Amino acid sequence: MKTIDVLIIGAGPAGLMAGAQIKNKSVILLDQSEKTSLKLLMSGAGQCNFTHEGDLKFFLEQYNGHKAFLKVAFKQFFNEDACAFFEKQGVATMVREDGKIFPKSMRAEDIKSALIHINERQGHQLHSGECVKDVQIVDGGFQIITSHGAYHATNLIGAFGGCSYPTTGSDGSLFQLFKGLGHTIMPLRPALSPVYTKPNALTGLQGLSFKDATVDCFRENQPVGSYNGDLLITHFGLSGPVVLDNSRFFRVGDQLRVQFGTVDRKSLEQYLIHLANTSGKLPIASAFKGLPYPKRLVEFLLDGSSIDKTKPISELSKKERHELLGFFCAYELLIDYVGGFNVAMATTGGVSVEELNRKTMASKIQEGLFFVGECVDIDGNTGGYNIQWALTSGAIAGREIDNLSQ
Ligand SMILES: Cc1cc2nc3c(=O)[nH]c(=O)nc-3n(C[C@H](O)[C@H](O)[C@H](O)COP(=O)(O)OP(=O)(O)OC[C@H]3O[C@@H](n4cnc5c(N)ncnc54)[C@H](O)[C@@H]3O)c2cc1C
């Protein structure tokens, strides 16, 4: 059995950042995937949106709760620290217009290489294709059984990710094991998922996107929430930040009412009435030309209505006008299915934050044990918040372990 100071399970951004901070101890990182950090490589469509320029107050609104815990963590390692870290490793970073931060090269590979290289420079070993099967508490630490052998480690960092995109290696198989060692695992559910809707009629609009759309959600006719953001229509339903970020609140059978863009019901009604009074002969089909709607959407919604689009707008009855307002500002869809772990970009749930020291990420249940990254019950919106959490928690745990006397 090999004896080391620190064993890190998982070489995603959280595990690699933890290793990067440990200078004075022997470290082995194990990852069951042959190609490690696959999710990091997929992030931001391969461009790696690793954080956002927002301030702390803004950041804390981007997660599914646990503000007090996150506040303490971000005070120790935040977005500017992440940027400074990568710049120091020779990876220039850049802020996009929308505040999202990427490597200037727009290559996730550069972020991964920087993290791997610093671990190598520190003399750490990375064993890819080695799966952790069991962990036992033993005198002075942990015995870790893997697909390739056994290790004794004084400190153990769980950085094994969530359950989404299981083909990347983050398959959630270790949650049960740590539950067995006394940790509470909050219910695991997909987050940042697209939704499959019915009727599936909108699929004719596949590829259309809308800035600042509004999606209202109703369950048994009661409002669940009203959400704003960019919307994308896909071949199966809806995606884009407004749907992904709020998918954790959606359930099968919920009704969604979609406003395509920023023009609300009242403004659209006033516009149509004004047009009827001033340009009454204008055919209804032309009435939407002065509005910020794509032609495809207008044609699609008018064709789907009961209204003869060739008739003059002055002849549009109140009932017909309301039908159009409903189509453009509250288009009704039912959720048939909320995307599962195979398409979710993150996982809600995981190791309870109540059992972690927010200053160190150390377990309050088992001395020497730490949890970082997505395996912890913290999940953020799209926009770089999940990788920032992985980097923050990894950095905090790594620094803490580096400072421990053995
Ligand atoms: C398609 C996609 C796009 C995304 N885009 C973004 C984005 O632009 N910005 C953003 O902030 N976030 C994004 N995310 C989320 C982000 O990638 C994750 O939150 C982040 O990678 C989590 O880091 P982690 O180190 O905690 O876990 P992971 O990156 O999941 O790494 C965990 C590692 O642990 C290993 N492991 C698991 N079990 C075992 C075991 N038993 N033995 C050994 N090894 C094990 C896995 O193989 C894996 O390599 C995206 C996710 C996806 C799927």
Strand 27-31 to 125-128 pairing: parallel
Rounded distance between C-alpha atoms, residue 204 and residue 331, angstroms: 15
**Residue 223, number of CB atoms within 10 A of its CB:** 10
Atom 11 of ligand 1, nearest CA residue:
384
Over residues 118-140, mean pLDDT: 96
Please list, in sequence order, all residues whose beta carbon lies within 8 angstroms of the beta carbon of residue 146, skipping any fewer than 6 positions away: 30, 130, 131, 132, 133
Asked if omega into 194 is within 30° of 0 (cis), the reply is: no
Please list, in sequence order, all residues whose beta carbon lies within 8 angstroms of the beta carbon of residue 267, skipping any fewer than 6 positions away: none
Q: 18, 393, 371, 390: which is closest to 184 by C-alpha?
A: 371
Residue 202 has pLDDT above 90, yes or no: no
Give the pocket of ligand 1 (CB within 6 Å).
Answer: 9-15, 30-33, 36, 39-40, 42-44, 49, 131-132, 159-161, 164-165, 169-170, 173-174, 345-346, 373-374, 384-387, 390
Write down the pLDDT at residue 218: 97
Question: Cβ(359)–Cβ(399) under 8 Å?
Answer: no
Stated pTM of the model: 0.93
CA of 64 to the centre of ligand 1 (A): 18
Atom 38 of ligand 1, nearest CA residue:
160
Q: What is the DSSP string of 3-45?
A: EEEEEEE--SHHHHHHHHH--SS-EEEEESSSS--HHHHHGGG
Residue 39 has pLDDT above 80, yes or no: yes
Specify burial of residue 324 (Cβ count, 10 A radius: 0-12, 13-18, 19+). Answer: buried
- Location of structure tokens 């003869």: 308
**Residue 71, number of CB atoms within 10 A of its CB:** 14
CA of 53 to the centre of ligand 1 (A): 21
Residue 237 φ then ψ, to 5°: 160, -120
- Per-residue pLDDT tens over the stretch 294-332: 999 999 999 999 999 999 999 999 999 999 999 999 999
Percent of residues, the chain, with pLDDT higher than 90: 95
Within 64-171, residue ranges assigned H as helices are: 67-76, 79-88, 108-121
Write down the pLDDT at residue 406: 61
Q: 205, 212, 210: which is closest to 227 by C-alpha?
A: 212
Q: What is the DSSP string of 290-343?
A: TSS--HHHHHHHHHHSSS-TTSBGGG--HHHHHHHHHHHHSEEEEEEEE--TTT
CA of 389 to the centre of ligand 1 (A): 11
Question: What spatial distance separates the first Cα and last Cα of the chain, rounded to whole Å?
Answer: 19
SS3 label, residue 168: helix
Ligand 1 atom with minimal separation from the 388 CA: 11
- Per-residue pLDDT tens over the stretch 251-293: 999 999 999 999 999 999 999 999 999 999 999 999 999 899 9
Residue 239 has pLDDT above 70, yes or no: yes
Please list, in sequence order, all residues whose beta carbon lies within 8 angstroms of the beta carbon of residue 78, skipping any fewer than 6 positions away: 56, 59, 388, 392
What is the average pLDDT value for the chain, to the nearest integer?
Answer: 96
CA of 54 to the centre of ligand 1 (A): 22
Write down the pLDDT at residue 210: 95
139 vs 21, residue with greater confidence: 21
Write down the pLDDT at residue 43: 95
Over residues 42-54, mean pLDDT: 96
Atom 14 of ligand 1, nearest CA residue:
43
Over residues 124-134, mean pLDDT: 98
Across 159-189, b (16+ Cβ under 10 Å) vs e yields bbbbbbbeebbbbbebbebbeebebebeebb
Residue 405: which pLDDT band, with cuts at 50, 70 and 90?
confident
Question: Cβ(182)–Cβ(366) under 8 Å?
Answer: yes
- Per-residue pLDDT tens over the stretch 343-391: 999 999 999 999 999 999 999 999 999 999 999 999 999 999 999 999 9
Top mutation candidate among 170, 376, 378, 379 for ligand 1, by most atoms within 8 Å of CB: 170
- What amino acid occupies position 186? M
- Location of structure tokens 């409002």: 223
Please report the domains of the chain, with CATH numbers, ordered by start residue: 2-190+343-403 (3.50.50.60), 194-339 (no CATH)
Rounded distance between C-alpha atoms, residue 231 and residue 212, angstroms: 7
CA of 37 to the centre of ligand 1 (A): 7
Over residues 99-104, mean pLDDT: 98
SS3 label, residue 230: strand
CA of 28 to the centre of ligand 1 (A): 19
Percent of residues, the chain, with pLDDT higher than 70: 99
140: left (phi over 0), alpha (psi -120 to 50) or beta: left
Residue 180 has pLDDT above 90, yes or no: yes
Question: Cβ(230)–Cβ(179) under 8 Å?
Answer: no
Rounded distance between C-alpha atoms, residue 123 and residue 125, angstroms: 7
